[in-house]
């Protein structure tokens, strides 16, 4: 049931603190070590892994793109992310020392199933991050790390996304631990940071419990551009996907650094641009994105900005600022995506569309 919400999507957006908390629960042992008992791949195999390839589609692939930043940083293993339907056809280089990570909410996405079959035929180990126990992907994988988001009914994925990021981070920390890149105290510290995220997610959801202020004339919006750098880049693409799926609006997510290589030509008076601003504690990232806001604003864009509490540098360039609590850079996607989900929900509601069952889409894509 919708438990008092108008739509499943809104209910699922509001369930994200629990989805993330449940996914992280009971993964630390008394000594502060990360234990992932359900992984049926031995620690020895994880130690021998030379590369990680994440395969997924849609929102799950964006979760994978976020994970890549963490896995490479923590584990120092090359990590690629590929759309499952592209992976199979490019003759990928995989071996017994490749860990293929399939991410899927449903566990029934045919493109992802075919990708893991292909990977296994080449001898790769396959680990599945799925939300549906007993699903095809969980049965065919060598090991499974479950997300505990609970059933996701709305076609547009929300709580599965944040739970997938949490699970990927557990995997990244586990790999770092077994491979000796990180010591128990560092792992415990990261897990502490992660375990603070459900409360931060709740804070953002409480702030924007009503209709988030959009600061734009909804009637006039024809397209929306999303910009992000580093982990904000896949979040920008996810924000755009949500808007396409449920509000039927043209939307694109770009890497903010790519702006002057082309997309800035799109900016004209009144063009809404959503920008995810990294923490000021990473000045090399922050400074550049703030100057991107100024650039689009100077060309007439209506700027909707996601920024941390206390980051006043964005105020003079922003039509609207959606505030998120101070959060370590790698964890920011868990809060940054929330205003974007709510923005899409609000837009779709305003336009009168059925947000749970958008046209032309199925909850799980079981054909290739």
Residues 336-365 that bind ligand M6R (CB under 6 A): 361, 364-365
The minimum distance between CB 111 and ligand M6R, in angstroms, equals: 8
Options 66-74, 99-107, 315-323, 324-332: segment touching ligand M6R (CB under 6 A):
99-107
**φ, ψ of residue 99 in degrees (nearest 5):** -100, 115
Q: H-helix or E-strand containing 56?
A: strand 51-56
User: Does 363 participate in catalysis according to the annotation?
Assistant: yes
Q: Which of 244, 288, 326, 363 is catalytic?
A: 363
CA 300 to chain centre: 29
Told to check if 109 binds ligand M6R by CB under 6 A, we report yes
Cβ proximity to ligand M6R, 58 vs 172, nearer residue:
58
**Spatial distance between the Cα atoms of 21 and 28, rounded to a whole number of angstroms:** 13
The token duo for 101 is 């990570």
Strand order in the sheet with 51-56: 79-83, 51-56, 98-104, 125-130, 143-146
Report how many residues bind ligand M6R under the rule CB under 6 A. Answer: 17
How many CA atoms, within 13 angstroms, populate the side-chain half-sphere of residue 93?
5
Residues 122-181 that bind ligand M6R (CB under 6 A): 155-157
> What is the torsion angle, in degrees rounded to the nearest 10, for the CA atoms of residue 319, residue 236, residue 106 and residue 10?
0
Cβ proximity to ligand M6R, 52 vs 149, nearer residue:
149
What lies within 8 Å, CB to CB, of 203 at 6+ separation is 325
The minimum distance between CB 348 and ligand M6R, in angstroms, equals: 12
Cβ proximity to ligand M6R, 191 vs 347, nearer residue:
347
Instruction: Return the residue nearest ligand M6R (CB atom).
Output: 58
CB 229, CB 256: distance < 8 Å: yes
The minimum distance between CB 158 and ligand M6R, in angstroms, equals: 8
Residues 206-265 that bind ligand M6R (CB under 6 A): 241, 245
Q: Contact positions toward ligand M6R, by CB under 6 A?
A: 57-60, 104-106, 109, 112, 155-157, 241, 245, 361, 364-365
């Amino acid at each position: 049931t919708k438990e008092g919400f108008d739509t499943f999507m809104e209910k699922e957006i509001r369930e994200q603190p629990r989805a993330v908390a449940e996914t992280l629960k009971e993964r630390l042992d008394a000594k502060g070590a990360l234990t992932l008992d359900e992984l049926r791949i031995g620690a020895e195999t994880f130690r021998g892994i030379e590369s990680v390839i994440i395969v997924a589609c849609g929102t799950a692939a964006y979760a994978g793109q976020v994970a890549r930043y963490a896995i490479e940083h923590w584990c120092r293993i090359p990590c690629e992310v590929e759309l499952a339907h592209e992976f199979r056809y490019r003759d990928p280089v995989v071996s017994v020392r490749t860990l293929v990570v399939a991410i899927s909410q449903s566990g029934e996405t045919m493109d992802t199933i075919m990708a893991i079959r292909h990977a296994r035929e080449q001898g790769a180990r396959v680990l599945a991050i799925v939300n549906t126990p007993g699903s095809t992907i969980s049965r065919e994988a060598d090991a499974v790390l479950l997300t505990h988001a609970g059933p996701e009914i709305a076609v547009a994925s929300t709580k599965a996304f944040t739970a997938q990021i949490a699970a990927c981070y557990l995997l990244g920390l586990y790999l770092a631990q077994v491979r000796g890149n990180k010591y128990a105290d560092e792992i415990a510290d990261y897990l502490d940071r992660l375990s603070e995220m459900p409360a931060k997610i709740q804070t953002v959801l409480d702030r924007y419990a009503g209709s988030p202020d959009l600061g734009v004339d909804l009637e006039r919006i024809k397209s929306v551009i999303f910009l992000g750098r580093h982990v904000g880049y896949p979040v920008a693409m996810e924000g755009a996907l949500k808007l396409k799926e449920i509000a039927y609006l043209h939307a694109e997510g770009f890497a903010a650094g790519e702006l002057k290589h082309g997309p800035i030509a799109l900016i004209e008076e009144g063009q809404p641009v959503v920008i995810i601003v990294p923490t000021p504690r990473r000045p090399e990232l922050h400074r550049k994105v703030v100057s991107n806001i100024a650039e689009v604003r100077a060309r007439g864009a209506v700027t909707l900005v996601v920024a941390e509490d206390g980051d006043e540098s964005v105020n003079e360039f922003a039509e609207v600022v959606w505030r998120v609590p101070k959060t370590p850079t790698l964890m920011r996607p868990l809060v940054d995506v929330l205003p974007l989900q709510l923005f899409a929900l609000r837009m779709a509601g305003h336009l009168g569309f059925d947000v749970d069952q958008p046209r032309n889409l199925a909850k799980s894509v079981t054909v290739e």
